[in-house]
Every structure is written in structure tokens, then in C-alpha cells.
């Protein structure tokens, strides 16, 4: 499938499967496993995995287009899908042929869900402060500790897991390991009840002397931290694209509603105050898309995307909450009705303000670059 065919398939899947069912999935308070499997059957899990490993090898900009489009209907659904496909793309590049022969095909077919586990119950923003401990043993490493706030923890059986190999070394001691939930030493924690975000399946797991063979070490001490930090820039940009999808859908609904609903003898949209508030939403939506695209191009070209990715995520997640709220306001009480999905979008925007680094952490990244980028 080329990018155009892939995105057309995704749009059809959104219209036929995701849009009609998203509210029901959230009401059931669980991840829509069958629909995720259906998405994999339609080829959507093959996005970035290279062709030689069974994927479509499509670009990062295609990923952004997918994230914006699918979020119009259901951010948690695409968040779960993307987090799984990210692991397939990552494992297709490891030197261990068993990863490509076993795990990657099962992820692409939707028979295995996956996740990336950095956060812990006691450490989120302060990633270098994780306490899950990796201890070198004969033939591999033993992992002990607990992970928390992990996307897909409800359904995933494969986790790219970060652990501290040398507590005295800080971030330089962090490594990354492949954890298979079907092996001994792994215990899943009950997923969190997360208002409006059950489709993400956020939860955690405990590791008790869990053995990782040397061949399943993805990054040794130091490499783990660096690989997490380089991957997170891309995640921040696709999160910004998801925000654009949420706002675009909210605006679409508010404009359609305002064109037909009358008040004081005229369509709502004829009232200047209301029209101007939606003009503001439209303008900020385009600013969000422009910033996201610029950061996406940097990722695509392998440039230094740290600042632009942080700016895109900060702007998108901060503004999406207010912009969706403005659209709900423009629809009056009807904006609150579940059938429009704007309440779900609002909480989705709030959730995205934490994932892959909070707004405050984006300020830290942008602040660190002020002198270099803005002082001359
Ligand atoms: C739905 C969902 C899915 C997630 N999925 C994953 C996943 O798949 N994998 C994963 O590893 N993690 C995941 N996370 C965790 C996410 O990365 C963390 O929530 C995020 O890093 C923030 O950490 P925290 O929530 O522990 O907040 P904390 O780090 O405890 O911070 C609390 C508040 O203090 C602020 N703060 C902290 N330090 C500073 C400072 N120095 N200056 C100013 N303010 C500060 C933070 O910005 C935040 O507002 C997910 C989170 C959510 C909500």
C-alpha cells in the first residue's frame, strides 16, 4: 500500500468502524480489542515497519496525517494502535532476527499488542529517577520493579521496558529491555479507570526477578535513555497532530450546528460574537497544523527536532483544551450531548497534555534552547 491508499483505508475505517462505536467503547470502559484487530487486518498496523519486515515503510508525515484523521473520531483508539505499531517498527530494526521472525509479524497481524514502558508509579517527568532495577546475571539481566501509566497495559503482551542498570549513574545507567508478559516474573496490574480514556488501556505491571536474555536487550546502560529521548520527539509531534484532529472535529460540528440552529431570528453563525469565536478556533487550528508539520518535516529529515517538537506539543495540547471548549460553548447545551463526542475530545486533549512529557516539561525543553535559538 502506498501512502495515499493507506490513508484512504484509514479514513474508511474511521467512518465505518470507529465513528459509530467510539462512544460505546468508552461506555464499556475497556479497550476495543476486536476493532484494533480489525484495524490490523485492514493493514493499519503496518504503517512504519519497513517493507522487508512485512510493513509498508511509510513516512512520518503519513503517520501525522493518520493521527489527525483518526483522532477526529477517537483519540484513545489511535493512541493504542500507534503505540503498538511503534514497537513493531522498533523491533524490525534490532539485530536479533528472532524479533523479526516472531514478534513483528504477530504485532502487524493484530495478534500481539505492545507498549513502551518508561513511567513508574513514582516517576514520570523525572525519567532518570526510575527505580525498576536491572541486575546483570549469567546470560542476561534480571529486572525487578513496577511500571505505571503504560498505554495498552490492559491488553499488551510485549513491553519495551526501561530499567536502571546502575543507580549511581543516573540517566547514563538506564537501559531498555524486551519484556514478554507470558513469561514468569511478570504480573499485570489492574488497568486504571480513566474518565474518557479507557480505550488507551493505561495501567501497569510488576516485575519480580524477570529474566531478560542478552539477545533481548534493546539498549545497554546509557543507550536506553538516549533512544527513549530520540523517540519521544516523534511522539510529541504525533500527539500534536492528534490535538489538531480533535479540534478539527469539534470545529466542524460547531460550524455545522451554528449554520442551522437559529436564535433571535437568525442562524447562530450570523451573530458576530459567535462567528468570531469560531474564527479564532479556525485560526489556531491552522497554526497548530503548521507548527506540527514543521516539526514533522524535521523528524522526517532526521534533523534536530527537540525544540520544534516541544513547541508543537506545548501549543497543541495547551490550546486544544480551550478551543474544544469554545466549540462546545458555541453549541449551547447540545454541545454536551454524548452523540457529538466533544466531551470525549475535551478529556482526550487533557490526556495528551501529559503523555510523552507534560506541558511543563515542554517548557523545560524550549527554555533550554532559548539562548541558542533566540538570543542572536
Ligand atoms: C493516558 C496516559 C498514557 C500514558 N502512556 C504512557 C506510556 O505508554 N509509557 C510511559 O512510559 N508513560 C506513559 N504515560 C505517562 C506520562 O508520560 C506521564 O504522565 C508524564 O511523563 C508525567 O509524569 P507524571 O504524570 O508522573 O507527573 P509528575 O512527574 O509527577 O509531575 C506532576 C506535575 O508536576 C509537574 N512537574 C514535574 N516536574 C516539574 C518541574 N521540574 N518543573 C515544573 N513542573 C514540574 C508536571 O509537569 C506535572 O504537571 C501515560 C500517561 C497518561 C496520562
For residue 325, pLDDT over 80 is answered with yes
Q: What is the pLDDT averaged over residues 24-37?
A: 96
| Minimal-distance CA residue to ligand 1 atom 18 | 124
Span 306-320, pLDDT tens digits: 999 999 999 999 999
Cell numbers describing residue 322: 480551550
What angle in degrees, to the nearest 10, is found between the helix axes of 272-300 and 306-330? 160
Residue with cell 516523534: 234
Q: If pLDDT is split at 50, 70 and 90, which confidence band does 73 have? A: very high
Biggest alpha carbon–alpha carbon distance for the chain: 80
Q: If pLDDT is split at 50, 70 and 90, which confidence band does 111 have? A: very high
Q: With a cut of 0.90, is the ipTM above it? A: yes
Span 229-274, pLDDT tens digits: 878 999 999 999 999 999 999 999 999 999 999 999 999 999 999 9
- Residues 54-78 as b or e (16 or more Cβ within 10 Å = b): bbbbbebbbbbbbbbbbbbbbbbbb
Tell me the domains of the chain and their CATH numbers.
Answer: 3-112 (1.10.540.10), 115-221 (2.40.110.10), 225-374 (1.20.140.10)
Q: What is the pLDDT averaged over residues 208-222?
A: 94
User: Ligand 1 atom closest to Cα of 151?
Assistant: 8
| Minimal-distance CA residue to ligand 1 atom 42 | 360
- The pLDDT of residue 220 is 87
Taking the C-alpha atoms of residue 321 and residue 112, their distance in angstroms, rounded to an integer, is 33
Taking the C-alpha atoms of residue 89 and residue 50, their distance in angstroms, rounded to an integer, is 7
User: Ligand 1 atom closest to Cα of 127?
Assistant: 21
| Minimal-distance CA residue to ligand 1 atom 23 | 124
What residues are in contact with ligand 1 under a 6 Å CB criterion? 83, 115-119, 124-126, 149-151, 197, 200, 202, 351, 354-358, 360-361
Question: What is the whole-number distance in angstroms between the Cα of residue 330 and the centre of ligand 1?
Answer: 32
Span 117-151, pLDDT tens digits: 999 999 999 998 999 999 999 999 999 999 999 99
Amino acid at each position: 500500500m502506498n501512502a495515499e491508499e493507506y490513508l484512504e483505508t484509514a479514513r474508511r475505517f474511521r467512518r465505518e468502524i470507529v465513528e459509530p462505536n467510539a462512544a460505546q467503547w468508552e461506555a464499556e470502559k475497556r479497550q476495543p480489542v476486536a476493532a484494533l484487530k480489525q484495524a490490523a487486518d485492514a493493514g493499519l498496523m503496518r504503517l512504519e515497519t519497513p517493507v522487508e519486515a512485512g510493513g509498508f515503510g511509510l513516512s512520518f508525515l503519513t503517520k501525522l496525517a493518520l493521527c489527525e484523521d483518526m483522532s477526529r473520531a477517537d483519540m484513545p483508539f489511535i493512541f493504542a494502535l500507534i503505540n503498538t505499531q511503534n514497537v513493531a517498527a522498533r523491533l524490525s530494526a534490532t539485530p536479533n532476527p528472532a524479533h523479526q521472525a516472531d514478534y513483528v509479524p504477530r504485532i502487524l497481524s493484530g495478534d500481539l499488542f505492545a507498549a513502551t514502558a518508561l513511567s513508574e508509579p513514582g516517576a514520570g517527568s523525572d525519567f532518570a529517577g526510575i527505580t525498576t532495577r536491572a541486575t546483570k546475571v549469567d546470560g542476561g539481566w534480571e529486572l525487578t520493579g513496577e511500571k505505571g501509566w503504560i498505554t495498552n497495559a490492559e491488553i499488551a503482551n510485549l513491553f519495551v521496558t526501561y530499567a536502571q542498570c546502575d543507580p549511581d549513574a543516573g540517566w547514563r545507567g538506564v537501559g531498555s529491555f524486551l519484556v514478554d508478559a507470558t513469561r514468569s516474573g511478570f504480573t499485570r496490574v489492574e488497568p486504571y479507570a480513566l474518565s474518557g480514556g479507557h480505550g488507551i488501556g493505561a495501567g501497569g505491571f510488576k516485575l519480580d526477578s524477570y529474566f531478560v536474555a542478552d539477545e533481548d536487550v534493546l539498549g545497554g546502560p546509557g543507550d536506553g535513555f538516549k533512544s527513549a529521548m530520540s523517540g519521544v520527539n516523534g511522539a510529541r509531534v504525533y500527539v500534536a497532530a492528534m490535538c489538531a484532529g480533535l479540534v478539527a472535529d469539534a470545529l466542524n460540528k460547531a460550524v455545522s450546528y451554528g449554520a442551522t440552529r437559529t436564535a433571535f431570528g437568525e442562524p447562530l453563525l450570523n451573530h458576530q460574537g459567535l462567528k468570531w469565536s469560531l474564527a479564532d478556533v479556525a485560526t489556531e487550528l491552522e497554526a497548530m497544523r503548521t507548527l506540527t508539520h514543521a516539526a514533522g518535516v524535521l523528524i522526517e529529515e532526521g534533523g534536530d527536532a527537540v525544540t520544534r517538537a516541544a513547541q508543537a506539543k506545548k501549543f497543541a495540547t495547551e490550546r486544544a483544551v480551550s478551543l474544544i471548549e469554545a466549540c462546545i460553548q458555541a453549541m449551547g447545551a447540545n454541545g454536551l450531548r454524548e452523540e457529538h463526542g466533544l466531551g470525549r475530545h475535551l478529556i482526550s486533549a487533557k490526556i495528551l497534555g501529559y503523555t510523552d512529557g507534560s506541558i511543563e516539561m515542554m517548557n523545560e525543553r524550549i527554555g533550554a534552547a532559548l539562548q541558542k535559538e533566540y538570543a542572536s
